[in-house]
Chains A and B, each alone.
Chain A
Amino acid sequence: MFDWPLLQQNAPLLLGALWVTLQVSITALAIGFVIGIMVGSLRLSPIPLLRRLGGAYIFVFRGIPLLVQLLFIYYFLPRIGLPNVSPTVAAVIGLSLAAGAYIAEIMRGGFLAIPGGQLEAAGLLGLSASQMLIRIRVPQAVRLTLPALVNEMILLIKASSLVSVVGLADLTRTAQNLAASDYMFVQDYLMLAGFYCLINIPLAYCGSLLERRLKEQTA
């Protein structure tokens, strides 16, 4: 059932594709995190219009399946005169926008858990709203929501398996292509699953390590 020479031949190709998956996911996570913080704080803004704006963003990008968003960005936007972006850019945009919506809701939960007294105190000390966000709210919210954030990172890396629809040869697409030419479906897809674990198991481990560290600090 297993063909070792073929496995040795395919492994480096999948390793190359793993790099594509990692590049796209990590870039998207970084951008998504920034979007998440912004939209998350919009949702809690005292100004109703801003709250609605944040709500609308989440409604759209959490509500529409990522697959549909990717297809839309890649195929539809050029038709209404927007730039005809490359597959990589389309994939990063799609993943970032979706990740931003989920991270925004996680961060909102984190922001709400910070005692109001802290912000009042910070205000009295003369910190501006953006200083408060960067120095007081974000660090605490991240610590409070770390398990949910790690969860979201893993989900995003797995969701990146959809980017092949815009023509990017990521891990999943490469494995499908390999299976289509060597007909070793079980072996190729098992290897594919293994490669995703190769990213996600260390990521989960780092997450729990970080969580323990931060807990020690506060204790």
Chain B
Amino acid sequence: MQPDSCVDTKVFRKTFKSLSIAAMLAAFSLGAMPLAAHADQLADVKKAGELVVGTEMQFAPFDFLDAGKQKGLNAELFEELGKELGVKIKFLDLPWPSVLPGLEAKKFDVVAGPIIVTKARKERYHFVSPIAEATVALMVGAKDDSIKKPEDIAGKTVGAGKGSAQLEELKTFAATLPEKVTIREYVDNNQAYADLAAKRIVAVANSLPNISYVAAQKANLYRVVQPPFGKKSYFAYLGRKDADADSLIAALDAAVDKMHADGRLAALQKKWLGAEMDVPKGDFEPTW
């Protein structure tokens, strides 16, 4: 009754064939799939009475958990945006590598992050007006006196988030230094912070608002190196880049503009990021 081994190889071959057919079919149906029939995401969101936001609760001070509850700039800023749109806000917490695929699979309406606006990302996603400055700086160990300015990382090991714009900035900066900088890439920034505390790396490159917050929380462990070394860049929320999404992004843009005008945005920046920030209003051309 036991199938002999030649059946197994046949099974493999057959399976392989049917798998590749399935893959072809899938690829074909993807290409041929018509765009979703409705054309207005704003109307859909208003009808549902709820804007679903994908984010990662490990990105202090924008999104993090305090005693199991969501806290940070995103929660308060989206609450205001929700008021402007007349809808409730629902946050979904996912590991960062799952957030953008989730947006594209329509698991949620927009992504909170926020994310640094770059030219390449603008090609693929539709950004809302920026909400904070994101220029990259270094964080080092609190007791490490060997790094007083960004250039002092020459010849040392520095960490940054894998696939992040901050990593690209770090690479560009490291190339200008006389000695080679060893760069470690981390799936999430918290692993980099943990490695910095464990002294496996001497510094972490990340956007100033993030590391300022971390260093303020754990002054016994971390310290920020001033000034930032990166080019001026900005954080923004984003949505899908398709025709249906335009109405929603436009409404969010208008809401952010309104919050610029009445000072609510500045107050939130001051509360969570330590200072008011000069960010472009509306669409802008990122430096890279």
Contact = CB atoms under 8 A, between A and B. Distances in A.
Interface stretch (B37-45, B95-103, B153-161, B279-287): B95-103
A80 B11 CA distance: 26
Interface in B183-223: 188, 190, 193-194, 197, 214, 217-218, 221
Given A165-B98, A180-B60, A181-B65, A59 B106 contact: no
Interface of chain A, helix or strand or loop or mixed? helix
Given A75-B105, A183-B218, A81 B29 contact: yes
Contacts of A51: 3, 7, 11
A177 B26 CA distance: 35
Interface string A162-194: 001111010001001111110101000000000
Interface in B41-84: 57-58, 60, 64-68
B3 A13 contact: no
A177 B190 CA distance: 10
B93 A177 contact: yes
B105 A173 contact: no
Contacts of A48: 7
A55 interface: yes
A81 B106 CA distance: 12
A78 B106 contact: yes
- Interface size bucket, B side? 35 or more
Given A13-B68, A52-B7, A52-B11, A80 B26 contact: yes
Interface of A: 9, 13, 16, 43-44, 46, 48, 51-52, 55-56, 59-60, 71, 74-76, 78-81, 84, 112, 116, 164-167, 169, 173, 176-181, 183, 185
A116 B2 CA distance: 12
Contact of B33 (A55, A80, A166, A167): A80
Nearest to B92: A167
A164 B95 contact: yes
A188 to B, nearest CB: 10
Contacts of A74: 98, 102, 105, 107
Contacts of B33: 79-81
